Structure 1
Amino acid sequence: MIRVENLTKRYGSVTAVDGATFTVRPGTVTGFLGPNGAGKSTVMRMLTGLTPPTSGHATVLGRAYRDLPNAGAHVGVMLDASAQHPGRTGREALTLASIAIGVPRTRVDEVLRLVGLTDDEAGRRVRTYSLGMRQRLGLAGAFLGEPRVLVLDEPANGLDPQGIHWMRGLLRDFADRGGAVLLSSHLLAEVQAVADDIVVIGRGRIVAQGPVAELVDGLGAIARSLDDAALVAALEAAGHAAAATASGVVVEAEPVDVARIALAAGIVVTDLRPHGAQGLEDLFLRLTADDAREVAA
């Protein structure tokens, strides 16, 4: 339902996005990950027609977003939940949007219930909303036209744990009914919990993409021991790539093989599990290390 092909955006001598290519399949949630400044928002703005690409193209439902007749009725977009007139009430904002895309005003009440905003909250001025309430209002706007595709940039920002859990169920249900979701988020655990596929961008280039099960669950094992340096040496001597990280020793081998190697080397292992348990965070940090602002002391 979403296809991005060789999408590039340059601002003078700066290349913000460099040949991005990926797809979002019907019936799936695709997590779109990358450090700040990596190009995620630029890709999403090009996808939704807000920023013209320098080259390449992106389509939604088989057409460029700008060429979709009444795009808001088919594609739900939330790129900035704060982009609402602060002097309007939540209900007024949604009512105006319903008029613009030609859906019945009764749909306003439906989406308000969907996102959990009460009648009292819907009647308040947006300027009085908390960040979490603005996120819910933005999601209500995205669902207003009964879309087949959702494009969401940091929709969980400002939500409490219960709200994040609710949003996960909302997106999962949408995808399970055949919809396609492109979800940008910094909450890696939530992405891992809800996403079918992930796309990782770093310095404007796609550095990894594919099903979560292949990219994360297939990473091997993670272990802690009384002597991690010795464990790394023993694993490498046995032909397995291994590295000591803050989370433990990450190794491209099954946990049972790690246990056997440690036992043979006389190393006491204190923790051993499939890497998938913390895999998305470690994968993200490894693939985007060059973009990290923080350096080890």
Structure 2
Amino acid sequence: MIQIENLTKRYGRFTAVDGISLTAEPGRITGFLGPNGAGKSTAMRMLVGLTPPTSGTATVLGRRYVDLTNPAAQVGTMLDASAQHAGRTGREVLTLAAMMAGVGRAEVDRALERVALTPAEADRRVGRYSLGMRQRLGLAGALVGDPEVLVLDEPANGLDPAGIRWMRSLLQEFADEGGTVLLSSHLLHEVEQVADDLVVIGRGRIVARGTKEELLRSSSTLVDSPERARLGQALARAGLPAEAHPTGGFLVEAGPEPLARLALAEQLPLTEVRPGDQRLEELFLSLTADDAREHSA
């Protein structure tokens, strides 16, 4: 488990992280989202002891990271996959990570196999790795000590679609076995696919948090009928704001009860009446609009 309470980091007059609190539970994947410069990386660095907080607390498995008996084995971290020694081979980088975690060489081979780096790739110098291969090596380093917790900053960066699907399966398997995952990413679609819980940060402050279902639930209703054209006309006559949904039917700014009454009055058969969930991208943009950078030509 990860627990962050009132965590703050100031650099002079600038507040990078402003009193944030969040919990990442075992057996669940928590997506940590925010625009560039919102404070995600700073918060993660404070969590794993790389940046001292100005105030507040951050604990992993009930203790500060620096107080863990063997942090490299208990918490797998990947905060910057590009920060690997370009002159070493992938196997050498991973062997050093295994030594820090106190595990044997067999775990190196297991981690390489787990992230699908071949023996030939493992014996290649990191300076010749693609960005995607560096990401795989960084994830292998996070996994080599068989940790209970993963803290990952942009783990899908540089991966192709097949690699992203592979990473999604790996993280889901890790969580299904009781592990805790905290990951940040700008790939909102992928976070939506893999995360159980979401935390959105903007300008150093938490602007939303909760389960994915809670945050993506909309006040609108998706309604459809085999007589779709007549349904659209009835909605317009009733003054109910509606827009066509990409998968069919209408997204209506109303609850199911007035729609049921309308269908009864109009003798309209309905094939679908359910909450109209919004997309993560829509939620993200609405919550972080103040932090968005406008580009002008």
1:234 to 234, 239, 243: 239
Matches within 5 A, 1:195-274: 195-221=195-221, 234-235=239-240, 253-254=254-255
Q: 1:201, 1:207 within 8 Å by CA — same for their partners in 2?
A: yes
- Please tell me the root mean square deviation across aligned C-alpha atoms, in Å: 3.3
For structure 1, the 5+ residue unaligned runs are: 237-241, 265-271
Counterpart in the other structure of 1:152: 152
SS at match of 2:121: helix
State the shift of 1:157 in Å. Answer: 0.4
| Matched residue, 2:43 | 43
Distance 2:29 2:191 in 1: 9
Matched to 2:18, the amino acid is D
Give per-residue Cα distances to partners, 1:165-198, cap 9 Å, x unaligned.
0100000010011000001011111111111100
Kindly provide the amino acid, as one letter, of the partner of residue 22 in structure 2.
F
Cα drift, residue 79 of structure 1: 0.4
Change (3 A) 1:220 1:183: farther
Corresponding letter in the other structure for 2:92 = E
Pick closer, same or farther for the CA change 1:109–1:64 going to 2, 3 Å: same
Q: Give the distance between the partners of 1:155 and 1:199, measured in 2 at CA.
A: 17
Q: Report if aligned partners of 1:219, 1:279 keep a CA contact under 8 Å in 2.
A: no
Percent identical among aligned pairs is: 67
Which residue in the other structure is 1:194 paired with? 194
Are 1:235 and 1:258, in contact at CA under 8 Å, matched by a contact in 2? no
Say which SS state the counterpart of residue 124 (structure 1) adopts. coil
Task: Give runs of aligned pairs for residues 121-132 of structure 1, distance below 5 A.
Answer: 121-132=121-132
Query: Is 1:114 aligned with 2:114?
Result: yes
Give the 3-state SS of the residue equivalent to 1:234 in structure 2. Answer: coil
Q: Structure 1 residues 28, 252: closer, same or farther in 2, change over 3 A?
A: farther
CA contact (8 A) 2:240 2:253 kept: no
Q: Does 1:177 align with 2:177?
A: yes
Are 1:288 and 2:288 counterparts?
yes
How big is the shift at 1:150?
0.3
The residue that corresponds to 1:53 in the other structure is: 53
In 1, Cα distance between equivalents of 2:109 and 2:255: 51
CA 1:72–1:280 in structure 2 vs 1: closer, same or farther (change >3 Å)?
same
- Change in Cα spacing, 1:174 to 1:293, as seen in structure 2 (3 Å) is same
Q: How many residues align?
A: 283
- Secondary structure at 1:174's aligned position in 2? helix
Q: CA deviation at 1:273?
A: 8.3
Separation in 2 of the partners of 1:256 and 1:89? 64
Q: Which runs of 4+ in 1 moved over 2 A?
A: 217-223, 233-236, 249-262, 272-276, 294-297
Matching residue's letter, 2:40: K
Q: What secondary structure is seen at the aligned counterpart in 2 of 1:94? A: helix
Displacement of 1:111 in angstroms is 0.4
Aligned equivalent of 2:269: none
Structure 2: any 5+ residue segments left out of the alignment?
A: 245-249, 266-272
Quick one: structure 1 residues 109 and 206, their matched pair in 2 at CA, closer, same or farther if it must change by over 3 Å?
same
Give the secondary structure class of the aligned counterpart of 2:239. Answer: helix
- Taking structure 1 as reference, are residues 255 and 168 closer, same or farther at Cα in structure 2, changes over 3 Å only? farther
Amino acid at match of 2:103: V
Q: TM-score, normalised by structure 2?
A: 0.85
Of 82-91 and 287-296, the range deviating more from structure 2: 287-296
Quote how far apart the aligned CAs of 1:253 are. 3.7
Instruction: Answer with 176-185 or 94-103: which moved more.
Output: 94-103
Letter in 1 for 2:11: Y
Where do residues 126-145 of structure 1 align in structure 2 (5 Å cutoff)? 126-145=126-145
What's 2:247 paired with? none
Inter-partner Cα distance in structure 2 for 1:261 and 1:15: 52
Q: Deviations over 1:62-104 (max 9, x none)?
A: 0001111110101000000111100000000001111122101
Following superposition, the deviation at residue 217 of structure 1 comes to 3.3
Pair 106,19 (structure 1): closer, same or farther in 2 beyond 3 Å: same
Q: Using the TM superposition, give the Cα deviation of residue 259 of structure 1 relative to its aligned residue in structure 2, in angstroms.
A: 9.6
Q: In structure 1, how many angstroms separate the alpha carbons of the residues matched to 2:276 and 2:36?
A: 25
Name the SS for the 1:210 alignment partner. Answer: strand
Larger Rg: 2
Amino acid at match of 2:107: R
8 Å CA contact retained: 2:9, 2:18: yes
Q: What letter is aligned with 1:105?
A: R
